[in-house]
Amino acid sequence: MGTQTTHLPRIIAVLAMLGVASFPIYWMFVTSLTPSSELFATSPNMLPRFEQLGIYLEVFRTIPVATWLWNSFVVAAGTTVLSIALAILPAYALSRFRFAGIAILGFALFATQMLPEAMLVVPLYAIFGQLSLLNSLFGLILANTAFVVPVITWIIKGAIDSIPLEVEEAARVDGCSRIDIVLAIVIPLITPTLAAAAVIAFFHGWNEYVFAQTLISSEALRTASVGLASFVGELSTPIHSVMTVGVIYTLPAVVFYLFAQRYVVAGMTAGSVKG
Amino acid sequence: MSTRRSASARLEGHPLTPYLFAAPVAIYLILFQFYPLVQEFYLSFTATDLLRPSDSTFVGLDNYSFLIEVGDLHKVLGVTAIYTICCVVFAVGLGLLAALLLDAPFVGRGVARALVTVPWAAPSVAVALVFTWMFNAQYGIFNHGLRALSLPFGAENWLDSPNLALPAILLTTVWQIFPFSSVVILAALQGVPQELREAAAIDGADRFNIFKTAVWPTIQPTVFMLVLFVTIWSLRRFDLIWLMTQGGPIGATNTLVIELYRQGFVYRDLGSAAAIGMIGLTVALVITVIYFKVTQAAERAQGKR
Amino acid sequence: MSSIRFKNVSKSFGQKEVIRDIDIAVDDGEFLVLLGPSGCGKSTLLRMLAGLDTITGGEISIGDKRVDHLPPGQRDMAFVFQSYALYPHLSVRRNMTFPLLMQQFRWWYHLPFIGRWAKARIENAPDVTAKIEKTAKILALTEMLDRFPRTLSGGQRQRVALGRAMVRNPQVFLMDEPLSNLDAKLRTSMRAEITRLHKEIGGTFVYVTHDQVEAMTMGTRIALMRDGIIQQFGTAREIYTDPANTYVARFIGTPPMNLIEAKLDGTGVSIGDTRIGLPVAFPQSGYGEVLLGIRPNALALSRESATGSLPGVVAMVEHIGAESVIAVRLDGARTAHEADESMDAVMVTVPGYTEFAAGEKVFLMPDATQAVVFSATSGERLRP
């Protein structure tokens, strides 16, 4: 009960679960490193052939991967910066203020979780057309931010909730205005949560597909998600090249996430777990 | 919470400050979420072509009646219901099992907990890509495995089969989202007092009873909230399904969102697309209301039962 | 038969040994108290007895049956936790019925409908309800049977925890600091309740506490622990009058026993320039440095000197009401009290109000018949 248990059934179950969780990614990697001759063989190649690693460089020549990745990065970074900048003040307001509008704001943020991107993409397409924001990465950033701000706000609010009020009261007594308090006191205290929020926003921008597909038409501005999507299900491009692009696209997300996951988990569950 | 808010309010300040704080985000959301939503609402009562969006004809409830009477709305709703329910049951169920497995201490637990979240970190497009390949008729790894086990199946492309497509999509979806459930439930499990588990053990409870009596009551609110979120997200899920099956074959994986997108971008009928959107939104609202009513009733019953 | 036997029991967490070679026997029907400061290992020992922690070495037996390899549910013991550990979603009645239900549980009770029916049948069986009502009556819980734990006060929850332990009629009752979370007044009344319960229902009780008053008033025998080792195992009286080492001497009693540096020769001790004769002779002379142990109420204060009295100055006086505590700094002699005692003083208690005041020169007259001697190096008790 109080000591470590090393039951064999549990170990097997955990290993099985980890195997299931990591197999598809592993398979993507293995397929990327499988030579063409073996891709369509009767028995599948199960292990990565590291001598094929050259394909990772080759793929940059034949497919505009570099452009795609750059565009994805710009969109993701832009979404991160904009959404956090937008979310901090309302998060603070939801945590500290009490007035009629706040309840509505809170409910509205929750309600946006129910709206599918696929539904709003049509009117957004029209609105962006009128604002000349179509076919621009900036427009895409704006659209993504709208969908990730509610989650970010909720997470940051949770972190602000756990800051004792006395700290702010002391600053008040010292003559700080609210804005000063937010900038000088609150933000430094919630940096880990801000980092977690940044990770979530970044991934939302990196992974996003529907808007990137609909709002961007020029090839030069295509993001990696759309670029990769064009390969799904078709077999004319060599499968191992496609998988290579897949790995290149997925790897930053997974690696970065593995490093940051402790903070993300803590940030996300702090507010939502009831005691 | 409200005492701290009113205490904070006593920290005088400019009376407009709260509104100023809330304004930027409010304006942003109104512009990019609610105004489009209102537009969708109006669109649903019109006949509009995708390529000529400003040229709308008001048609009243025609879109809705068409969907219900002639269109396959009931089939779409059916697929959506099956998809959603299965997602919730499997994702939350597997997440619960995973969380319980990862809760007790063992060597390498930290690594295991980090690794199990990998599916959640992978982008949907990449997931769609690799799973489509895995479901391939001749070269997909699933069929290879089935043939290796000498089972009679393993000849067709899962995604092309009316019977296997939805299970395939479910497999993919559950694979992607069960880590999120396990992470949330694992966090809730940390809040279970160890002494409660020990008391049940001393009272002679077996493992299931310990779970039912000492663990479940503590994590139940979290699990219920998880169920709500997974339900709402299932109603929204687009990327995976569209990329892998576009809702086919023969509508086997045609959920509300997929049908919406197809109406709008394939048939170019923005009016019908908007109508489906409104129906989907109503479903989500109804589910949320039911959820809150049920949890309130359950909480009251727990106090009295 | 519910005697308990700890045979060379030890416990290590990794490299760290927390319990070292505990070897004691507890008789059937005893009230054993495990006493000691936080971290001494008393709770760990209790948990090992219950099966909540594993043993690294040695054996534990109840009656003549070895139990240390059995899981907690099979040792026929009940455990009362410091935090009560009541099942929050079950009523008081159901909390108390739970152990009885588990005793009769079959695997197929887990199935949805059949299980519910079977469990209801057990819960409503006449012998079960009778037992619950009887236990509730003993603990004055009858009105609260259908209430939920979160609506109860600390003392009431404590009684429910006791009730849940009692319904099983176990051989052994284990209690881990059950009164620590209660306020002082409630603690006193619950102490009496538990003692009364012990007399009424019999059974062997093992009780963990850091409070020496609880230990002295409730236990038939006390095991005083420190850093995983038992310092002394005996009745309250033995521990009080006949301490085995300086730690025991300083742990029990408020204020605790004084330890004064002295030199021992065959028939007495010398403290500074004063010689005090001892009623028993210590044949082996040449012990050299020792500590003379004398309780505060075994010292008489006087303004005049006499043979064998120790001179000193009053450092502080505290009037408690029923008695007064006077701290006296000795001339030419030192105490061996812990370094954190800000004053190196001998504590004396006298009944009622005292006229002595700080700064006065006084003479202490020890009652040599109540004095004990410890080695100054090891702290162990020296016996003649």
Name the more confident of C341 and C383: C383
* Residue with the two structure tokens 């048609």: B59
Find, among A126, A217, A211, the residue nearest to B51 by Cα.
A126
Q: Considering only CA atoms, give the Rg of chain C.
A: 26
Residue B119: CB atoms within 10 A of its CB come to 23
Interface membership of A1 toward C (CB under 8 Å): yes
Using the predicted structure, report yes or no on whether residue B196 has a pLDDT greater than 70: yes
| Cβ-Cβ contacts under 8 Å, C164 against chain B | 203
Query: What is the value of ipTM here, to two decimals?
Result: 0.85
Using the predicted structure, report yes or no on whether residue C341 has a pLDDT greater than 60: no
For the segment A224-255, what is each residue's pLDDT rounded down to a tens digit? 999 999 888 777 888 888 889 999 999 988 88
pLDDT at C107: 81
Q: Do C137 and C101 touch, CB atoms closer than 8 A?
A: no
For the segment A50-73, what is each residue's pLDDT rounded down to a tens digit? 877 888 888 888 888 899 999 999
Interface membership of C68 toward A (CB under 8 Å): no
The mean pLDDT value for A112-137 works out to 86
Most A CBs within 10 A among B125, B147, B278, hence the mutation to make, goes to: B125
In what side-by-side order are the strands of the sheet with C372-375? C274-277, C268-271, C258-264, C288-294, C372-375, C381-382
Interface membership of B192 toward C (CB under 8 Å): no
| Cβ-Cβ contacts under 8 Å, B200 against chain C | 87, 98
Using the predicted structure, report yes or no on whether residue C111 has a pLDDT greater than 90: no
Report d(CA C71, CA B214) in Å as an integer: 18
Q: Is B48 helix (H, G, I), strand (E, B) or coil?
A: strand
For the segment B88-111, what is each residue's pLDDT rounded down to a tens digit? 999 999 999 999 988 888 878 888
Angle between the B270-304 and B73-103 helix axes, to the nearest 10 degrees? 40
Band of the pLDDT at C15, cuts 50, 70, 90? Answer: confident
Nearest CB neighbour to A112, from listed B29, B222, B257: B29
Token pair listed for C206: 């093992």
pLDDT at A267: 62
Put simply, the chain C residues between 183 and 202 with a CB less than 8 A from any chain B CB are none
| Cβ-Cβ contacts under 8 Å, A114 against chain B | 232, 235-236, 281, 284-285, 288
Residue B74: CB atoms within 10 A of its CB come to 10
Residues in chain A: 275
Using the predicted structure, report yes or no on whether residue C286 has a pLDDT greater than 70: no
The mean pLDDT value for C202-230 works out to 92
Band of the pLDDT at B52, cuts 50, 70, 90? Answer: confident
For the segment C27-37, what is each residue's pLDDT rounded down to a tens digit? 999 999 999 99
Domains contained in chain C, CATH given: 4-241 (3.40.50.300), 246-382 (2.40.50.140)
Report d(CA C80, CA A48) in Å as an integer: 58
Interface membership of C106 toward B (CB under 8 Å): no
Helices H / strands E in chain C, number of each: 9, 21
Name the more confident of B174 and B148: B174
Q: Contact A257/B121, CB-based, under 8 Å? A: yes
pLDDT at C270: 84
Q: Contact B204/C164, CB-based, under 8 Å? A: no
Report d(CA A35, CA A37) in Å as an integer: 5
Biggest alpha carbon–alpha carbon distance for chain B: 76
Percentage of chain B beyond pLDDT 90 is: 27
Token pair listed for C343: 């004053």
pLDDT at B1: 45
pLDDT at B6: 52
Using the predicted structure, report yes or no on whether residue A113 has a pLDDT greater than 90: no
Q: Contact B129/A258, CB-based, under 8 Å? A: no
pLDDT at A62: 84
Which chains border A (3 or more CB–CB pairs < 8 Å)? B, C
Half-sphere exposure of C241 (CA within 13 A, CB side): 5
Buried b (16+ CB within 10 A) or exposed e, A88-97: bbbbbbbbbb
Q: Contact B217/C78, CB-based, under 8 Å? A: no
- Which range has the worst mean pLDDT, A1-5, B141-145, C106-110, C229-233? A1-5
Interface membership of B203 toward C (CB under 8 Å): yes
Token pair listed for B303: 């106090």
Q: Do C53 and C16 touch, CB atoms closer than 8 A?
A: no
Token pair listed for C273: 């320039």
Q: Contact C73/B199, CB-based, under 8 Å? A: no
| Cβ-Cβ contacts under 8 Å, C88 against chain B | 217-218
Report d(CA C320, CA C123) in Å as an integer: 54
Interface membership of C103 toward B (CB under 8 Å): yes
Band of the pLDDT at A85, cuts 50, 70, 90? Answer: very high
Q: Contact A24/B130, CB-based, under 8 Å? A: yes
Token pair listed for A104: 């509505």
Nearest CA in chain C to B212: C110
Architecture of domain B72-304: Orthogonal Bundle (1.10)
Report d(CA C129, CA C131) in Å as an integer: 5
Which chains border B (3 or more CB–CB pairs < 8 Å)? A, C
Nearest CA in chain C to B218: C88
pLDDT at A165: 84
State which amino acid sits at residue B156. E
Using the predicted structure, report yes or no on whether residue C234 has a pLDDT greater than 90: yes
Among A157-166, C2-11, C276-285, name the most confident range: C2-11
pLDDT at A192: 83
Using the predicted structure, report yes or no on whether residue B305 has a pLDDT greater than 60: no
3-state secondary structure chain A: CCCCCCCHHHHHHHHHHHHHHHHHHHHHHHHHCCCHHHHCCCCCCCCCCHHHHHHHHHHHHHCCHHHHHHHHHHHHHHHHHHHHHHHHHHHHHHHHCCCHHHHHHHHHHHHHCCCCHHHHHHHHHHHHHHCCCCCCHHHHHHHHHHHHHHHHHHHHHHHHHCCCHHHHHHHHHCCCCHHHHHHHHHHHHCHHHHHHHHHHHHHHHHHCCHHHHHHCCCHHHCCHHHHHHCCCCCCCCCHHHHHHHHHHHHHHHHHHHHHHHHHHHHHHHHHHCCC
Cα C149 to chain centroid, rounded: 28
How far, in Å, are B132, B164, B253, B276, C194 from residue B248 at the CA level?
Answer: 14, 11, 6, 18, 72
Interface membership of C47 toward A (CB under 8 Å): yes
Band of the pLDDT at C272, cuts 50, 70, 90? Answer: confident
| Cβ-Cβ contacts under 8 Å, A151 against chain B | none
Q: Do C268 and C275 touch, CB atoms closer than 8 A?
A: yes
Domains contained in chain A, CATH given: 55-272 (1.10.3720.10)
Domain locations along chain B: 72-304
**A12-17, long-range: CB < 8 A, 24+ apart:** A13/B101, A14/B101, A14/B102, A14/B106, A14/B112, A17/B98, A17/B101, A17/B116
Residues in chain B: 305
| Cβ-Cβ contacts under 8 Å, A242 against chain B | 129
| Cβ-Cβ contacts under 8 Å, C90 against chain B | 213
Report d(CA B56, CA A77) in Å as an integer: 38
Average model confidence (pLDDT) across chain C = 88
Output the CA torsion sign for B195, B198, B200, B203: negative
| Cβ-Cβ contacts under 8 Å, A7 against chain C | none
Q: Contact B119/A115, CB-based, under 8 Å? A: no
Q: Measure the N-to-C terminal CA separation of chain C; round to a whole number of Å.
A: 39
Nearest CA in chain C to B214: C87
Cα C218 to chain centroid, rounded: 8
Put simply, the chain B residues between 111 and 150 with a CB less than 8 A from any chain A CB are 112, 114-119, 121-134, 138-139, 141, 144
The mean pLDDT value for B41-60 works out to 81
Q: Contact A43/B144, CB-based, under 8 Å? A: yes
Q: How many CB contacts within 8 angstroms connect chain B with chain C?
A: 64
The mean pLDDT value for C134-149 works out to 89
Q: Contact C110/B196, CB-based, under 8 Å? A: no
Interface membership of B189 toward A (CB under 8 Å): no
Find, among C176, C166, C184, C172, the residue nearest to C34 by Cα.
C176
Strand-pair category, C172-176 with C77-80: parallel
Q: Contact B302/C110, CB-based, under 8 Å? A: no
Q: Is B170 helix (H, G, I), strand (E, B) or coil?
A: helix
